[in-house]
């Protein structure tokens, strides 16, 4: 974050829709199947779900390793295995902003509150770098 000292605007933004279900944790990244946006400083999520449906959030710190052949650094993340009960919950049809760098991966999972039977929810993920 020190590299952005004095800079309060994003130089790069990526956004996509991620579908989350109640049976598995899904990585909330703007580029499908990839790691967070390089040099990310903030993450905004907007949950679009049926009434009573929410999204649980879990966080994973990246493990940095160096490829011995290319000498490039790689970051790998391990998806959470915990149930959603102890997670931070974002209500359906709301937005949330996190000041997170690219070494933290956020995962989402659908949580149905009383009376809700939603099978999935959409999360609009916007990453700022």
**E strand spans, 5-120:** 13-20, 26-27, 42-48, 53-61, 63-66, 73-76, 88-91, 95-98, 104-112
Stretch 57-64: mean pLDDT, rounded? 93
Residues 6+ apart with CB under 8 A from 12: 37, 39, 128, 129
Model pLDDT, residue 66: 85
Q: Which domains does the chain have, with CATH numbers?
A: 11-128 (2.60.120)
Q: Mean pLDDT for the chain?
A: 89
More confident of the two residues 10 and 1: 10
Give residue-wise pLDDT tens across range 110-126: 999 888 888 999 999 99
Our separate counts of H helices and E strands in the chain read 0, 10
């Amino acid at each position: 974050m020190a590299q952005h000292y004095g800079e309060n605007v994003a130089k790069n933004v990526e956004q996509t829709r991620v579908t989350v279900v109640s049976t598995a944790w899904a990585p909330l990244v703007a580029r499908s199947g990839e790691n967070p946006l390089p040099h990310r400083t903030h993450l905004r999520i907007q949950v679009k779900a049926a009434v009573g449906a929410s999204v649980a959030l879990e966080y994973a710190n990246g493990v940095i390793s160096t490829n011995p052949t290319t000498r490039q650094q790689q970051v790998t993340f391990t998806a959470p295995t915990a149930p959603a009960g102890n997670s931070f919950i974002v209500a359906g049809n709301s937005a949330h902003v996190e000041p997170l760098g690219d070494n933290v991966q956020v995962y989402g999972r659908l949580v149905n509150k009383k009376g809700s039977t939603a099978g999935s929810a959409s999360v609009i993920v916007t990453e700022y770098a």
